[in-house]
């Protein structure tokens, strides 16, 4: 059984957590809301024993580091990390990369889910260990004829899931023209 960590898995990415369970992953979820996790656990049904939750805020890097170390000691190294990290949470990707690197020698995949601003940013990818395959997944918008709209949950989940299953970077929706994004 493979191990996956999903940061932000009780909100927009809860559908991804369920899809990873369907793919026979043991899934560890970091989020701020235990009530949302309880609902996710109910949705998981018989797969719930393969689902573990840690209630914490990403900016608590010390707690995140300890929890990632603990879960790997208990369940083995992580194979996949999906991190929906907003700009104000600096250091999260590097912290997770460092902790996974302490327990894993073989290659593993990190999917950094970012908003549309990443499509116009000149920010370089984070410095990660050589065995970390870093993938950027940029969330854009839907162009529906004469209008645009933000992506629905299902579109986001499917786009991130496809990136994980194909081990690749991805743009979900469209990002151009940047000025065409919904207001």
Q: Are 2 and 81 in contact (CB under 8 A)?
A: no
- Which residue has 């194979």 as its token pair? 79
Return the minimum-mean-pLDDT range out of 18-22, 53-57, 98-102, 178-182: 53-57
Q: Nearest 5°: phi and psi at 150?
A: -70, 155
Query: Got the DSSP string for 79-112?
Result: SEEEEE--TT-TTHHHHHHHHHHHH--S-EEEEE
Q: 67-107 pLDDT, tens per residue?
A: 999 999 999 999 999 998 876 667 889 999 999 999 998 99
Alpha-carbon gap, residue 73 to 1, rounded angstroms? 15
Quickly name the fold that domain 2-180 has: Rossmann fold (3.40.50)
DSSP-based three-state secondary structure for 31: strand
pLDDT of residue 137: 96
Which tokens go with 17? 């957590």
* Backbone angle region of 32, left / alpha / beta, with phi > 0 → left and psi within -120 to 50 → alpha: alpha
CA R_g for the chain:
16
Q: 101-159 pLDDT, tens per residue?
A: 999 989 999 999 999 998 888 888 888 999 999 999 999 999 988 899 999 999 999 99
DSSP-based three-state secondary structure for 55: strand
Quick one: which H or E segment has residue 135? strand 132-139
Spatial CA neighbour of 68 closest among 48, 92, 39: 92
């Amino acid at each position: 059984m493979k191990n996956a960590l999903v940061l932000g898995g009780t909100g927009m990415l809860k559908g991804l957590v369920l899809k990873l369970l369907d793919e026979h992953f043991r899934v560890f979820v970091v989020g701020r809301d235990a009530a949302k996790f309880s609902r996710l656990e109910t949705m998981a049904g018989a797969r719930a024993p393969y689902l573990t939750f840690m209630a914490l805020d990403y900016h608590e890097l010390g707690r995140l580091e300890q929890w990632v170390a603990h879960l790997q000691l208990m369940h083995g190294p992580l194979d996949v990390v999906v991190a929906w990290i907003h700009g104000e949470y600096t250091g999260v990707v590097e912290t997770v990369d460092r902790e996974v690197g302490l327990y894993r020698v073989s290659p593993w995949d990190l999917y950094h889910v970012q908003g549309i601003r990443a499509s116009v940013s000149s920010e370089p990818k984070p410095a990660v260990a050589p065995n970390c395959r870093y993938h950027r997944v940029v969330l854009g918008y839907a162009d529906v004829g004469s209008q645009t709209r933000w992506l629905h949950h299902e579109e986001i989940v499917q786009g991130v899931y496809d990136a994980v299953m194909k081990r690749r970077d991805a743009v979900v929706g469209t990002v151009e023209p940047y000025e065409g994004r919904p207001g």
